[in-house]
Amino acid sequence: MTIKAVVFDAYGTLYDVQSVEGVTEQAFPGHGEIITQIWRLKQLEYTWLRSLMERYEDFASVTRASLDVTLAVLGLTAGPGVFDRIMEKYLHLDLYPDAREALAALKSRKLAILSNGSPDMLNALVRNTGLHEVLDATISVDACRTYKPSPKAYALVEATLGVAPDEVLFVSSNPFDTSGAKAFGFNVAWIERVTPQAMAAAWQRHDLVRPLTLFKALRMQMDHLGFEPDHRISSLSGLPSLLS
Amino acid sequence: MTIKAVVFDAYGTLYDVQSVEGVTEQAFPGHGEIITQIWRLKQLEYTWLRSLMERYEDFASVTRASLDVTLAVLGLTAGPGVFDRIMEKYLHLDLYPDAREALAALKSRKLAILSNGSPDMLNALVRNTGLHEVLDATISVDACRTYKPSPKAYALVEATLGVAPDEVLFVSSNPFDTSGAKAFGFNVAWIERVTPQAMAAAWQRHDLVRPLTLFKALRMQMDHLGFEPDHRISSLSGLPSLLS
């Protein structure tokens, strides 16, 4: 394959969305992990539901509403200061440790992010973590007002970079996103952070009796939607050898 | 309001999808509850994702794929006989105890089901439980090849019954479905089987440390999508007085 552009999902792929757990735990001691997991579950659900309802609101709004429902479900109340402090973390998420080096090794090709994030959130995040220096474009689905895995979202890559789908390697750790990208026609590399063997072993050890571990692990298993990724690698550092 | 038709969601509203737990527990002793919960979670996710990917497959196919991924995630293997026996239960789900009486009390109006279920599954289920005698129509989203909460799905009601959206009372226990129905323009009654107070109390008692209780309870809390139901009732038996 001739890959002219490598396009990355942001949340969960380059940036660790689990890194909000520090601030959620600080705000609600003992509840950090469960807030983090339900928040992410609801955040994704709301992107899908709003797209399907044809009632788009941007990712900042969806992220606030999903944090709001999470706290409500758990019977927790946050003052505006606390709520905003948790939300603020989304502009300063941790990069995965191997992200910077992997991007640097790929810079002979066009490099971009295609993310559900709203432009303000994404631009702040990319700038705060210095990735604006290596990326050719930061593409937000906000331009088409519908979320991944809609083909309209993936079509923004060609519209922005001028590169055909079969010249793109799309990289994501989110199974729904790899399925959508593959259905659209991209070459797809899935960052498989938890293997099925590790998942099954954890289950047999009863580690998954804890709901939070189960939530997290479930989201990391490949979906059965009929669109398998072309490549499975365990971390971003596997990308350069995939392309050489 | 002048309500000319009462339209029901099927799975989770008239029929108890949790009633598959008997057969999943029989097939995989000790795993019945977790299979039931993950299966339902994935089943709903796949309807949303396939709709958004514009890769519709019918509900029988989605239900098989979601059972398949559930067993894979848990490291369980089912022979074809076992798999089919579990699937078969979807044609014989338990009616909620108050469903038959509530429908009978409403029969001066048009009564219908609008469901994600494929026509074969729905027709078998309705016939097996005798509801074909009281329903004027059993409407499947298969006619528009996209799932709820797409407005295309809700529009099938007017196309089938000839009743305008504001003359319909739509009844569902599924928060995503009530949000979609309200956004579409129906009058909406939400069967709220678990109150926020009960949910918060269960959490405080640590009942939700068990992942399965958490999964089930989460799905029963109203979503924060900006579309509140018109009515909240705790069971189907509250419907007749709502309309009198």
pLDDT digits (tens, 9 = 90+) for A163-192: 999 999 999 999 999 999 999 999 999 999
What is the domain-level CATH number for residue B168? Answer: 3.40.50.1000
Interacting residues of B209 by C-beta distance below 8 A, sequence separation 6+: A210, A211
A111 and A70, same structural domain?
no
* Whether residue B196 has a cis bond before it, omega within 30° of 0: no
B157 and B140, same structural domain?
yes
pLDDT greater than 80 at residue A125: yes
Cα–Cα distance for residue pair A157/A123, rounded to 1 Å: 17
B166 and B221, same structural domain?
yes
Q: Return the residue in B73, B146, B205 with the most chain A beta carbons within 10 A, the one to mutate for interface testing.
A: B73
What is the domain-level CATH number for residue B52? Answer: 1.10.150.240
Size of the A and B interface in Cβ pairs below 8 Å? 144
Residue B211 has what pLDDT? 52
Measure CB to CB from residue A224 to each of B48, B65, B217 and give the nearest one: B65
For the entire predicted model, the pTM comes to 0.95
A177 and A197, same structural domain?
yes
Q: Are A155 and A183 in contact (CB under 8 A)?
A: no
Catalytic (active-site) positions of B: 9
**Nearest CA to CA, how far is B208 from chain A (Å)?**
8
A122 and A74, same structural domain?
no
Residue A207 has what pLDDT? 55
Measure CB to CB from residue B46 to each of A146, A196, A225 and give the nearest one: A225
**Nearest CA to CA, how far is B163 from chain A (Å)?**
21
Residue B220 has what pLDDT? 81
Measure CB to CB from residue B73 to each of A55, A151, A218 and give the nearest one: A218
ipTM above 0.90, yes or no: yes
Residue A193 has what pLDDT? 83
A219 and A159, same structural domain?
yes
B79 and B148, same structural domain?
no
Cα–Cα distance for residue pair B176/B148, rounded to 1 Å: 8
In DSSP notation, B39-64 reads: HHHHHHHHHHHHHHHT----HHHHHH
Residue B97 corresponds to which amino acid?
P
Angle between helices A32-53 and B175-184 (to 10 degrees): 30
Q: Please, what are the averages of pLDDT over each run of 10 residues along chain B (244 residues)?
A: 93 93 93 88 96 98 96 87 94 94 94 98 96 97 98 98 98 97 98 78 61 68 94 95 90
Cα–Cα distance for residue pair B212/B107, rounded to 1 Å: 37
Q: With CB atoms and an 8 Å threshold, state whether B72 touches A218.
A: no
Contacts of A38 in chain B (CB under 8 A): 218
Residue A60 has what pLDDT? 97
Instruction: Name the maximum alpha-carbon separation found in chain B.
Output: 53
Q: With CB atoms and an 8 Å threshold, state whether B49 touches A179.
A: yes
Q: With CB atoms and an 8 Å threshold, state whether B52 touches A208.
A: no
- Of A91, A118, A152, which one is at a domain's C-terminal end? A91
**Nearest CA to CA, how far is B48 from chain A (Å)?**
6
Q: With CB atoms and an 8 Å threshold, state whether B209 touches A210.
A: yes
Residue B239 has what pLDDT? 96
Contacts of A149 in chain B (CB under 8 A): 49, 52-53
- Of A39, A64, A91, which one is at a domain's C-terminal end? A91
A136 and A118, same structural domain?
yes
A220 and A132, same structural domain?
yes
Structure confidence by residue, pLDDT tens digits, A45-87: 999 999 999 999 999 999 999 999 999 888 889 988 999 999 9
pLDDT greater than 90 at residue A202: no
Number of domains in chain B: 2
Looking only at the bridges linking them, the beta strands covering B15-16 and B94-95 are antiparallel
pLDDT greater than 80 at residue A195: no
Segment A200-226 mean pLDDT:
71
Residue B115: alpha-carbon gap to chain centroid:
7
- For A64, the closest chain B residue by CA position comes to B224
Residue A72 has what pLDDT? 87
B200 and B162, same structural domain?
yes
The residue segments making up the domain with residue A128 are 5-16+92-243
Q: With CB atoms and an 8 Å threshold, state whether A52 touches B209.
A: no
B136 and B36, same structural domain?
no
Residue A211 has what pLDDT? 52
Q: Return the residue in A48, A178, A179, A204 with the most chain B beta carbons within 10 A, the one to mutate for interface testing.
A: A48
Q: Using alpha carbons, list the distances in angstroms from residue B215 to A173, B14, B46, B90, B155.
A: 23, 20, 17, 20, 30
Q: With CB atoms and an 8 Å threshold, state whether B226 touches A75.
A: no
- Of B31, B63, B91, which one is at a domain's C-terminal end? B91
A232 and A181, same structural domain?
yes
